[in-house]
Amino acid sequence: MLLKLRERTLVLRLDKHLRTSATNSTSKNVITGNCSLTLNTVTNKNVQLVRQNMLDIVKNSNFTPEFLLDLIKKKGVKVVYLKGAYKFLALLSEEEGLITERRGFTAFVLNLLSGSGISFKSKPLFLLEEGNNDFYFLLFHFYKLHGYFQHLPGYDYKAQELFKLYSKNPEKCDLSQLGLEEITALKEAVARDNEASSFVIEVSKSKDGAKNALAKMKDGGATL
């Protein structure tokens, strides 16, 4: 029985590494021999659509954080302010701002904080430090929220868990342990993070006094 269980584990592990295709909501990656093919036309169109929508939002915002907060709430996403949010979130291995779907103990705690009842699965929410109404910081996270609602790949639970795990110590990443589907999911999550960073940097160049705000973000987005 033990040998059969061991055999099954090895077969599943081998299957993960030998898989030659990976598909998400709008893209497909195929590897054949030394060649690879990525079919992501729909993804690219949706990325451009999100960017254009966000440009329109910025034009109407008058660079006021209240405008973004109102849009966040209209999407049905809760905004929770917490004193000492950074220290508290560090205990959950989370960061201030948008927190997408979580599961397990982290989701349980987030649901209690947001008054969402008792569940081990949470919906996206904004958790912010008291008094944090920085426009550019909110814009970065709202951009990602908009992409989430547009069903861009990279915002699903698996992709975000991988991104959270590997972005903390990119120099120590061992991607050889990941299968094609996991690598593809991680790649999409990194792309979405970089798109949000690039957008906010672009917007900030049209407005004076943005340097301090941009310091709160990762320089240039994820480097994984």
Sorting pLDDT into bands at 50, 70 and 90, what band is 176?
confident
194-216 tens-digit pLDDT: 999 999 999 988 775 555 555 55
User: 202 Cβ partners below 8 Å, 6+ apart?
Assistant: none
Residue 10 has pLDDT above 80, yes or no: no
**If we measure between CA atoms, which residue out of 131, 64, 72, 116 comes closest to residue 98?**
72
Residue boundaries of the structural domains of the chain: 2-214
Q: State yes or no: pLDDT of 223 exceeds 50.
A: no
The DSSP letter of residue 170 is G
Q: Give the pLDDT confidence of 96-130 residue by residue, as tens digits.
A: 999 999 999 999 999 999 999 999 999 999 999 98
Report the interhelical angle of 41-61 vs 135-149 (nearest 10°): 140
Q: What average pLDDT is seen over the chain?
A: 82
pTM of the model: 0.79
Dihedral in degrees, nearest 10, Cα atoms 173, 178, 182, 186: 10
pLDDT band (50, 70, 90) for residue 224: very low
